[in-house]
């Protein structure tokens, strides 16, 4: 799968669950439950203990498209890519991440908030610009404003987004959205509450 095919799959998915948990077991459990509901694209953040090993485990499933989030540097990016990550995400602009992604044929998402930062992210090699934190910066209205001056740029708002907000962000011009705690709830996973996570997954799929 080349980068253009990956971007098409991300757009088709509409929602990327952002898995950010303190427990590897809980993270893997939550991903399994969401996968059973039909979600097949996941971002595993580097703040999850044993994130690289979890990425490697998930990437063995050919039905999944797995990426790494909050990637701090090129060395970490290479470790994630070697484990099977197909996209790399950072909530800031870091041009050193572009090289490892290009070498591996993986997609790169870099974070931005303002028009100046979006330009910087694109110049640094981003295939997708992650707009973070989206909800506190103006929500869909902020995405609509950015999309008006960056037509054709794939924008992925993340941060404070709930399943019920997805439609508004897509209508405002987002290519797809990232959802963390409102979808991948650590307390629910720790409590074994499959129903809560499954209900949130069904809500985003709807």
Catalytic residue among 5, 37, 103, 130: 130
Number of H helices, E strands in the chain: 10, 8
Calpha distance 206→131 (Å, rounded): 23
Read off the tokens for 62.
Answer: 């050919």
Catalytic residue among 5, 22, 37, 43: 43
CA dist 185 → 29, 179, 181 (Å): 11, 10, 5
> Is residue 22 among the annotated active site residues?
no
Contact between 177 and 189 (Cβ < 8 Å): no
Q: CA nearest 84: which of 107, 100, 60?
A: 60
> Is residue 130 among the annotated active site residues?
yes
CB neighbourhood size of 167 (10 A):
13
Positions annotated as catalytic residues are 43, 130
């Amino acid at each position: 799968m080349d980068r253009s095919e990956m971007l098409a799959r991300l757009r088709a998915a509409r929602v990327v669950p952002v898995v950010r948990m303190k427990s590897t077991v809980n993270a893997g459990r939550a991903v399994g439950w969401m996968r059973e509901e039909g979600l097949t694209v996941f971002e595993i953040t580097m703040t999850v203990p044993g994130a690289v090993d979890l990425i490697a485990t998930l990437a063995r499933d050919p039905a999944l498209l797995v990426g790494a989030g909050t990637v701090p540097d090129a060395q970490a990016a290479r470790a994630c890519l070697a484990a099977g990550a197909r996209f790399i995400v950072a909530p800031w602009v870091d041009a050193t991440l572009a090289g490892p992604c290009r070498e591996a044929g993986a997609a790169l998402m870099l974070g931005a908030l303002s028009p100046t930062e979006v330009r910087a992210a694109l110049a640094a090699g981003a295939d997708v610009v992650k707009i973070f934190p989206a909800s506190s910066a103006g929500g869909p209205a902020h995405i609509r404003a950015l999309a008006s001056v960056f037509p054709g740029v794939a924008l992925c708002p993340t941060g404070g987004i709930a399943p019920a907000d997805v439609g508004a962000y897509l209508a405002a011009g987002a290519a797809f959205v990232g959802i963390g705690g409102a979808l991948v709830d650590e307390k629910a996973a720790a409590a074994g509450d499959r129903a809560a996570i499954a209900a949130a997954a069904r809500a985003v799929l709807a």
